[in-house]
Amino acid sequence: MLKILCIIGPTASGKSSRAVEEALARGGEVISVDSRQVYRGLDIGTEKVSREEMRGVPHHLIDIRELEERYSAGDFVQDATRLVEEISARGKLPILAGGTHYYFDALLRGVPPVSPNEELRKKLEKFSNEELFKKIKEADPKRAGELDPANRRRLIRALEIIETHGSIPPRPVPTASFPTRLNLDIEWLVIDPPREELRARIDARLKSAFERGLVDEVRRIRELVGDKRLNEFGLEYRVVGEYLSSFAEATEDEARRKLLPILSAKLWQFARHQKAWLRKLIPAASSHPDRS
């Protein structure tokens, strides 16, 4: 049985820095569990860990795809499985850290076996994210609470699964340590800051992102891939992209004043969804969260 450490928590809780600390202390390598950091060029909006912040610790599954390419949960499962085996064979501890909880689900519990339905996808593309989320909530309210309402690709995938099964098939509820289909011995480290601290961290992260050039990054990516693909890269890119579509010449300061409160509210809502997922994924671990 291979031992791994999984570091999870809501957005802006400090997972990346904690992963580096654990790797340095315990002789580990980090596997990023982030659906956006796999893409080259999505740096500021994803708070991608820098070379300096890595402090010499090997990091995997970062900058492995071009913006135009696709990376799925199935790709992650294949890559992460290989990396866990390779890192373990080197005598190192695999440390999985990131905020894409669907990837954790897929790796540890399996991806529901539903083939893509292109005809259904074309029909669903006509609906807004709010309308898609409403459909999921009506069909499967329990699992709707575990989804990011702004992640269009995940919403459409969920509706594909619902179309086949009537709901998203339930998966086993794990405890703090449980055997998985990969025969892993899992140690969970849950970073769950108090409410006010997390809100402050979200706001500080947003302010830093604007100061480091978030608007210019979104403008550049929008020019490369267009609005439809940009929106698939998450809240920060979608919200800033929509603003730039109306105010193309906006400066960082203008965008920050307008968008900071909007993004702060949306990211807090997202963090609350993540907290709900944490409680359902590992109730034993989340009842004793790490407060450091």
Q: What is the pLDDT of residues 262-283, one digit of tens each?
A: 999 999 998 988 887 777 766 5
Would you say residue 18 lies in a domain? no
| Residue 175, pLDDT score | 40
Instruction: Please tell me whether residues 209 and 165 are part of one structural domain.
Output: no
Would you say residue 246 lies in a domain? yes
30: nearest Cα among 44, 49, 11: 49
Instruction: Please tell me whether residues 166 and 211 are part of one structural domain.
Output: no
41: nearest Cα among 225, 252, 210, 240: 225
Task: Specify whether the CB–CB gap between 74 and 81 falls below 8 A.
Answer: no
Would you say residue 23 lies in a domain? no
| Residue 291, pLDDT score | 44
124: nearest Cα among 89, 152, 100: 152
| Residue 176, pLDDT score | 39
Would you say residue 259 lies in a domain? yes
Would you say residue 202 lies in a domain? yes
Calculate mean pLDDT across residues 184-213.
94
Instruction: Please tell me whether residues 122 and 166 are part of one structural domain.
Output: yes
CA-CA distance, 229 to 224, in Å (whole number)?
A: 10
101: burial class by Cβ within 10 Å (0-12, 13-18, 19+)?
Answer: buried
pLDDT tier at 284, thresholds 50, 70, 90: very low
| Residue 122, pLDDT score | 87
Would you say residue 4 lies in a domain? no
Report CA-CA distances (Å) from 263 to 118, 150, 164, 203: 32, 12, 34, 9
6: nearest Cα among 182, 128, 156, 149: 182
Indicate the average pLDDT of the chain. Answer: 86
Q: What is the pLDDT of residues 236-263, one digit of tens each?
A: 999 999 999 999 888 888 999 999 999 9
Instruction: Please tell me whether residues 166 and 200 are part of one structural domain.
Output: no
Would you say residue 127 lies in a domain? yes
Helix boundaries (H) for the chain: 15-26, 51-54, 73-89, 101-109, 118-124, 129-139, 141-144, 152-165, 195-211, 214-231, 235-246, 252-281, 283-286
Would you say residue 225 lies in a domain? yes
| Residue 205, pLDDT score | 96
Instruction: Please tell me whether residues 210 and 165 are part of one structural domain.
Output: no
Q: Which domain holds residue 139?
A: 115-170
CA-CA distance, 167 to 169, in Å (whole number)?
A: 6
Instruction: Please tell me whether residues 205 and 146 are part of one structural domain.
Output: no
| Of residues 143 and 118, more confidently modeled | 118
| Of residues 271 and 60, more confidently modeled | 60
CA-CA distance, 94 to 84, in Å (whole number)?
A: 6
Instruction: Please tell me whether residues 165 and 201 are part of one structural domain.
Output: no
pLDDT at 215 > cutoff 80: yes
98: nearest Cα among 218, 213, 234: 234
pLDDT tier at 179, thresholds 50, 70, 90: very low
Q: Number of structural domains, the chain?
A: 2
- pTM recorded for the entire structure: 0.78
Calculate mean pLDDT across residues 70-91.
92
| Of residues 42 and 141, more confidently modeled | 42
